[in-house]
Amino acid sequence: MKILVINAGSSSLKFQLYEMENESVLAKGKVERIGMDSAILSYEPTGKNEIRQVEEILEHTTAIRKVLDWLVHKEEGVLGSIKEIQAVGHRVVHGGESFSSSVVVDEDVKQEIKRLFDLAPLHNPAHLLGIHAVEANMPDVPQVVVFDTAFHQTMPSQSYLYPVPMVLYKKHKVRRYGFHGTSHAYVSDRAAKLMQRPLDELKLVTCHIGNGASCTAVLNGKSYDTSMGMTPLEGLMMGTRSGDIDPAIVPYTMGKEELTIGEVNSMLNKHSGLMAISGISSDMREIVQAMGTGDRSATLAFEMYEYRLRKYIGAYAAAMNGIDAIVFTAGVGENSADLRAAVCRKLTFLGLELDEEANERRSGEERRISTDSSKVQVWVIPTNEELVIARDTHQLISDRIDVV
């Protein structure tokens, strides 16, 4: 079965086409700057060079049509016909309390994704655009949604409730949901296999450190606590998001700077984090580069970023009464040896010993970066959210075909 996996953002759309028989990727790519003057489409059939095309693409429906055109292109295509695609799987960031696993898209599911727009304003509206764009281009193909929040639905109430009036939870579902669940679930499963230990006996802290960043206490294979909250703003310091701050800063700043709710939201989501402190970039590569030239703001940004992550790891070690392993994943976690070293060098009280050489080694492979004698293992495990989405989609659609 061939499955197209889509991760639609507000101005971007990433895709991968899978052959599920051997879980291989036939082609992948992305469309960036949708709706802007010139969009960039990149398309890479496996084993061949990437093709880049710059042209105006005003909305997601056109973006998907262009992607489909490439997939069946005479020379560069990987499909004889679009009809070969039997299902489409989407990443959806917010599933609220309604979804603890992936589901086939129907009218009710779309309504629920829409109802949750307020809670994930950067993500959910874009996902629904992606779903509609697929409907417009491939009306008969079933679609599945895989939620970032689903894995975290196992959290106990002491983790997911906030100490605010209960009426807010009862009336408005104000609670911690947690995100990047597909990634946290995938890397914890991989970690257990690599450690050759049953997942349901392990205490793991998984650190998904990308543009958005979150870490999760995975106790016996289940999410026990996680740093993102009702929205993907809480927790760690991120590229442009503040993470944890004193909530009193919000009304105080609104008063002092005469900001609207929208403006303060934008300040915390788009103009904070690494970007705000360094004044240079939200991209960790540029921060590390500037540190190399002695830039003090970049150094401060890095130190704050690392310190806040390390505090969460310490908190989760306390939450689970110990940890067996720490896993680093996503753009920064997989690639920044500097960040991993800075975190691990100050966790020696846990009996953790970093293998400095292994940490420095550049590789896209899964690898252990702690010494043989370290009491806490440390792993770098490249995440693969697309594969999980493809697997869930395959499973749900095969079940449906079996029933018919």
Ligand X SMILES: Nc1ncnc2c1ncn2[C@@H]1O[C@H](COP(=O)(O)OP(=O)(O)O)[C@@H](O)[C@H]1O
Ligand Y SMILES: CC(=O)OP(=O)(O)O
* Catalytic residue annotation: 148
Residue, CB closest to ligand X: 331
Which of residues 212, 232, 243, 382 is near ligand X by CB under 6 A? 212
Q: Which residue has the tokens 């040896």?
A: 337
Q: Select 62 or 226, whichever has its Cβ closest to ligand Y.
A: 226
Which of residues 45, 210, 232, 273 is near ligand X by CB under 6 A? 210
Q: Could you tell me the smallest distance in angstroms from the CB atom of residue 79 to Mg ion?
A: 26
- 270, 276, 281, 286: CA torsion to nearest 10: -140
Q: Which stretch binds ligand X (CB under 6 A): 63-71, 86-94, 205-213, 294-302?
A: 205-213
In the DSSP assignment, the letter for residue 171 is H
Residue 194, burial from CB neighbour count under 10 angstroms (0-12, 13-18, 19+): middle
Alpha-carbon gap, residue 243 to 120, rounded angstroms? 15
Can you tell me whether residue 240 is helix, strand or coil? Answer: coil
Q: Could you tell me the smallest distance in angstroms from the CB atom of residue 97 to Mg ion?
A: 23
- Chosen from Mg ion, ligand Y, ligand X, none, partner binding at 335 (C-beta under 5 to 8 Å by type): ligand X
Pairing between strand 85-92 and 103-104? unpaired
Tell whether residue 285 is among the known ligand binding residues: yes
Alpha-carbon gap, residue 39 to 61, rounded angstroms? 14
Q: Which stretch binds ligand Y (CB under 6 A): 54-62, 111-119, 191-199, 206-214?
A: 206-214
Q: Select 45 or 235, whichever has its Cβ closest to ligand Y.
A: 235
177, two tokens: 């949901």
Tell whether residue 273 is among the known ligand binding residues: no
Backbone angles phi, psi at 265, to 5 degrees: -60, -45
Alpha-carbon gap, residue 221 to 225, rounded angstroms? 12
Residue, CB closest to Mg ion: 210
The answer to whether 386 and 16 have CB atoms below 8 angstroms apart is yes
Instruction: Tell which positions 36-65 bind Mg ion, by CB under 5 A.
Output: none
Residues paired with residue 32 on neighbouring β-strands, in sequence order? 40
The answer to whether 393 and 144 have CB atoms below 8 angstroms apart is yes
DSSP string, 130-160: HHHHHHHH-TTS-EEEEETTGGGGG--HHHH
> CA-based angle 263:267:271, to the nearest 5?
140
Q: Could you tell me the smallest distance in angstroms from the CB atom of residue 96 to Mg ion?
A: 20
Tell whether residue 304 is among the known ligand binding residues: no
Instruction: Tell which positions 227-286 bind ligand X, by CB under 6 A.
Output: 239, 283-285
- Chosen from ligand X, ligand Y, Mg ion, none, partner binding at 226 (C-beta under 5 to 8 Å by type): none
Q: What are the b/e assignments for 233-250, b being 16+ CB within 10 Å? A: bbbbbbbbbbbeeeeeeb
For residue 203, count other CB atoms closer than 10 A to its CB.
19
Q: Which stretch binds ligand X (CB under 6 A): 222-230, 265-273, 324-332, 368-376?
A: 324-332
Q: Site map for Mg ion, 202-221, x if CB under 5 A?
A: --------x-----------
Alpha-carbon gap, residue 364 to 385, rounded angstroms? 16
Can you tell me whether residue 295 is helix, strand or coil? Answer: coil
- Chosen from Mg ion, ligand Y, ligand X, none, partner binding at 283 (C-beta under 5 to 8 Å by type): ligand X
Which of residues 13, 330, 369, 376 is near ligand X by CB under 6 A? 330
Tell whether residue 47 is among the known ligand binding residues: no
Question: Contact between 180 and ligand Y (CB under 6 A)?
Answer: yes
The answer to whether 125 and 10 have CB atoms below 8 angstroms apart is yes
Q: Could you tell me the smallest distance in angstroms from the CB atom of residue 357 to ligand Y?
A: 30
Q: Select 137 or 227, whichever has its Cβ closest to ligand X.
A: 227
Which of residues 148, 295, 338, 392 is near ligand Y by CB under 6 A? 148
Instruction: Tell which positions 232-251 bind ligand Y, by CB under 6 A.
Output: 232
Residue numbers in the known binding site for substrate are 91
Residue numbers in the known binding site for ATP are 14, 208-212, 283-285, 331-335
Residue numbers in the known binding site are 7, 14, 91, 208-212, 283-285, 331-335, 385
Q: Which residues bind ligand X (CB under 6 A)?
A: 210-212, 239, 283-285, 330-332, 335-336
Q: Which residues bind ligand Y (CB under 6 A)?
A: 93, 148, 179-180, 210-212, 232
